């Protein structure tokens, strides 16, 4: 059986910059379309994107709506990992996150990066 390549995408940009917040999900779903396994890690203000009800307000001109991209990413088996210290700093609980979002600590970031074929940062 052929091994699937793994890509990790790390984003630190939240809804304050809609285009830059959306681009990681554009690239991730494109990678999924060629059968890559994709892990997105949200850190800093990007963790806000995983809060229930927020993504539908992010619509960058010329790009698909963020909510649609996030839903597709998760449906296609992407891993959405959220910086636990970052959500705690913003008073967001695990229950506030969309289904499919998993809080993680720094050790998981390191493990994911070391196991990936490529790492992209936004």
From the options 3.40.30.10, 3.30.565.10, 2.60.40.10, 3.40.1260.10, give the CATH code of 6-120.
3.40.1260.10
With 90 as the cut, is the pLDDT of residue 104 above it? yes
- Transcribe 74-122 into DSSP letters: HHTT-EEEEEHHHHHHTT--GGGBPTTEEEE-HHHHHHHHHT-SEEEE-
* pLDDT band, residue 43 (cuts 50/70/90): very high
Q: Please tell me the pTM assigned to this model.
A: 0.95
Domain ranges of the chain: 6-120
Query: What pLDDT is stored for residue 1 in this prediction?
Result: 39
């Amino acid at each position: 059986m052929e091994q699937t390549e793994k890509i990790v995408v790390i984003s630190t940009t939240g809804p304050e910059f809609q285009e830059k917040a959306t681009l990681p999900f554009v690239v991730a779903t494109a990678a999924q379309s060629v059968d890559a396994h994709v892990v997105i890690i949200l850190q800093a203000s990007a963790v806000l994107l995983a809060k229930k009800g927020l993504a539908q307000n992010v619509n960058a001109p010329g790009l698909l709506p963020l909510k649609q991209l996030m839903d597709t990413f998760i449906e296609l088996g992407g891993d959405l990992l959220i910086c636990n210290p970052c959500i705690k700093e913003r008073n967001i609980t695990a229950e506030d996150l969309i289904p499919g979002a998993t809080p993680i600590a720094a050790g998981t970031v390191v493990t994911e990066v070391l196991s990936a074929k490529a790492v992209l940062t936004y």
